[in-house]
Amino acid sequence: MMAFGLPRAAAVVTLVLGLAAASAMADDVEMVFLKSAVAKGAVCLDGSAPVYHFSPGSGTGANNWIVHMEGGGWCKTPEECVIRKGNFRGSSKFMKPLSFSGILGGNQQFNPDFYNWNRVKVRYCDGSSFTGDVEEVDSKTNLHFRGARVWDAIIEDLLNKGMSKAKSAILSGCSAGGLAAVLHCDKFKDLLPPSAFVKCVSDAGYFIDGTDITGNKFVRTSFKNVVTLHGSVKNLPSSCTSRVSPELCFFPQHVLPTMKTPLFILNAAYDSWQIRNILVPSAADKKKEWAKCKVDIKGCSSSQLVTLQHFRDEFLSALPKPEQSPKIGMFIDSCFAHCQSGAQDSWNADGSPSIQKMVRLAVLKLAQ
């Protein structure tokens, strides 16, 4: 694993760790349907109201906030987005109550650093990492591309709930939500008091501009289609779009050089989603020779394992260099995993990836 504490790198260690199961108490939380946002056009793909889950802070955490954005991939064509309208990825009509655990857990024993903070989970129903904003609604599909408006409306509501007086605040997310944490990080900081300690955490959101097994940039084309369909350009960091093509700004490696707010990256070098979709997308494996390997590394041949190792090297080379980015910390493990902060077994349990619990403690330093 690579473990870089803030403000500068403290250690680089490579280990191979597995995830261990751990039971932990999870707390039921309030489910907020933000119906007032509908009038502003801040809606899910199907036009339904956006949703977030909220657990208020108490005691020493009463003025501290952690806002975690749900992941769930993207839809890059109208057909894909229509499918999402029929489930919770595109409609709040299908969303159900949930419990918090991991970095959002409310049990002091299992989440000692953030258990009493104001904890928020923003549900993901737009398919664009909260960047879309197209005014026109197609009468045939009734698709609403309004992810950026959803993010704005929910953050505004949280500011009115007391986040405007935050002393410490963390914007985090998993997968597509982890990417959103990068894309919205500087904006998030600008909305909070100048005196607040504001940091961001991207869990499994460091998608690399990598090549697939055929040598093509399949994921780059996919992201270009997402940006075009959702009208995302105007909601991507201008410091990035002014330098490179808009779709490249969906790769954090192109955003971080001009990012101002401190960021902590939590990712697996053998990220399971990236292996399935960046290294071996279905279009690049028409003979399905990777069908077993890309879902379970125990099913990989020796040559496929070498390819995975090369992907790891490509991933590591795409990370920012610590000496060049003093505001960026990271914990990169060698697990075959995707998203590690939301589940108790990988966040803070016996056997979870750690170097003397440096994952949890390094994230805590973000708010100090």
**Helix, strand, or coil (residue 17):** coil
Of residues 133, 271, 333, 345, which has the active-site annotation?
Answer: 271
Residue of 63, 71, 108 whose CA lies nearest to 198 = 63
Angle in degrees, CA 222, 127, 295, rounded to 5:
65
CA distance linking residue 232 with residue 76, whole number of Å: 12
Cα end-to-end span (Å), the chain: 24
Q: Coil, helix or strand for 239?
A: helix
Per the annotation, the verdict on 334 as an active-site residue is no
Q: β-strands 263-268, 328-333: how paired?
A: parallel
Chain centroid offset of residue 263 CA: 12
Angstrom distances, CA of residue 362 to CA of 3, 34, 47, 304: 9, 33, 39, 34
Active-site option among 203, 338, 346, 354 = 338
Active-site position among 175, 325, 346, 352: 175
Q: Which two tokens stand for residue 133?
A: 């904003």
Do residues 254 and 248 lie in contact, with contact meaning Cβ atoms separated by under 8 Å? Answer: yes
CB atoms within 10 A of CB 47: 18
DSSP letters spanning 133-175 = ------TTT-----HHHHHHHHHHHHHHTTGGG-SEEEEEEET
Query: Which residues are CB-contacts of 209 (< 8 A; sequence separation ≥ 6)?
Result: 217, 219, 220, 248, 251, 253, 254, 318
Strand, coil or helix: what is 121? strand
> Is 175 a residue of the active site?
yes
230 is catalytic: no
- H or E element in which residue 52 lies: strand 51-55
Q: Compute CA distances 40 → 54, 94, 101, 129, 222, whole Å.
A: 22, 22, 32, 19, 29
Catalytic (active-site) positions: 175, 271, 338
